[in-house]
Amino acid sequence: MFRNLINAFKNKDIRKKLLLTLLFLFLYRVGCALVCPGFNLASQMQAELEGSSTSFFSLMNMMSGEALSNGSILALGVSPYITASIVIQLLTVAIPSLERLAKQGEDGRTKISFYTRVAALVLALAQATGIVIAYSSAIDTTILNLPKWIIGAGIVLILTAGAMFTVWLGERITDLGVGNGMSLLIFVGILASSASSISQAFSMLSSNIDYLWTIILFFVAVIVIFALIVFVDGGERRINLQYAKQIKGRKMYGGQSSFIPIKVNSTGVMPIIFASALITLPQLIINIFWPGSGAEAWFAKWLGTSSWLYIVILALLIFAFSFFYSQITFDPDDISRRIQQQGGFITGIRPGKPTADHLRKIARRITVFGAIFLACIALIPSLAFKAINDYTTSVLINSFSATSLMIIVSVALEFDKSLEAQMLMRTYKGFLN
């Protein structure tokens, strides 16, 4: 990857794209440092996020690079857009009109992108309103001497505008830079959160030097997990295809061999995000509408991030969402129909329904291993909290959670592939030498 970066900077066009990408990412981090006026959120959010790596607010804070805990104008980050994208993607499968629209080429994708932005705006308004209501005590009315609800409405508008500005930055990176803009914004946010946690952990060494061994062991475990994620991410089952020879005019076509790659972890980090969002949604609703109630205490006791019931339910949800998301992203019937139309077949399998059944059977078996891998990776932070009651380790685990590690690996690999594609388009002489 570093060799590709060095070679890319030698090309004028790619160098310009990389510099624009860095400029947009810099603007995003500057926006994350600007505190929203009249909203002293930092002190209250610190208590909310401490000791939790999979709560709703913790996930938002991690992806935004601690912009939420700082009360920044970009506190919502890309969370509304990511949620809107997931919802639109699910509706595309469920609603036939959206499915037809997605198959209409560039015009259809443009309309779906517009619907996604509208959904992101609605979700940003809802999330900003929920945050302001949940932390209404953090609103400072001494700035303008106005009623609390007016200042709160202004804060909602500022946070919503910040979320849409983040969406605009992501789209500009995708259009003018290298890689997927939204993914890179999340990537930079996670790296910023990780850097802050590392600095906080090392600052504790002055009080107790024994923390050094804990930090070293933790980073060794992180490197091992990184290697495991990269290893599984590259694992795939290749199903061999053969294409029959066809004579058209005086030329012969076909007679080639190819394969269908089915990745072990084809769903990526989505099942973890789905499961974490679903299991923390009741907690978010209770915190907003019934703060300090008995329901909040019961939920924290029995479904808190350190309870065994939470660990079991999270594992089951990840397992279920892995199969659900795999069925959405991988359609054996459609693949079988395309293979048959192109004159291809799987060796030993008849075209049509037998091919679809064969692909479905293989996909289910591979998804089982991918779901087990995701469940094990996702439960490492929760099990570590129960096994190690150490504040230094808990600070690091909050930033180096399973979700953040998988996002870092997947975005880095995606960026490297995008960079290679840009270099290949320009037929750079030193490409991959």
Reply yes or no on whether the pLDDT at 296 is more than 90: no
The residue among 356 and 424 whose pLDDT is bigger is 356
CATH of domain 2-425: 1.10.3370.10
Reply yes or no on whether the pLDDT at 51 is more than 50: no
**Spatial contact of 263 and 235, defined as CB atoms under 8 Å apart:** yes
Q: What confidence tens digit (pLDDT) does each residue in 360-378 have?
A: 999 888 988 888 888 887 7
Reply yes or no on whether the pLDDT at 299 is more than 80: no
Angle subtended at Cα 411 by Cα 359 and Cα 32, rounded to the nearest 5 degrees: 140
Reply yes or no on whether the pLDDT at 318 is more than 80: yes
Position 256: which residue type?
A: Q
For residues 111-131, give the mean pLDDT. 89
**Spatial contact of 187 and 177, defined as CB atoms under 8 Å apart:** no
Query: Residue 428: what pLDDT?
Result: 45
For residues 256-260, give the mean pLDDT. 80
Query: Residue 26: what pLDDT?
Result: 92
- Entry pTM: 0.78
Query: Residue 28: what pLDDT?
Result: 92
**Spatial contact of 422 and 14, defined as CB atoms under 8 Å apart:** yes
Which residues pair with residue 253 across a beta bridge? 246
- Quote the CA–CA distance of 276 and 53 in Å, as a whole number: 10
Query: Which helix (H) or strand (E) covers residue 288, if one does?
Result: helix 270-289
For residues 99-118, give the mean pLDDT. 83
For residues 189-205, give the mean pLDDT. 79
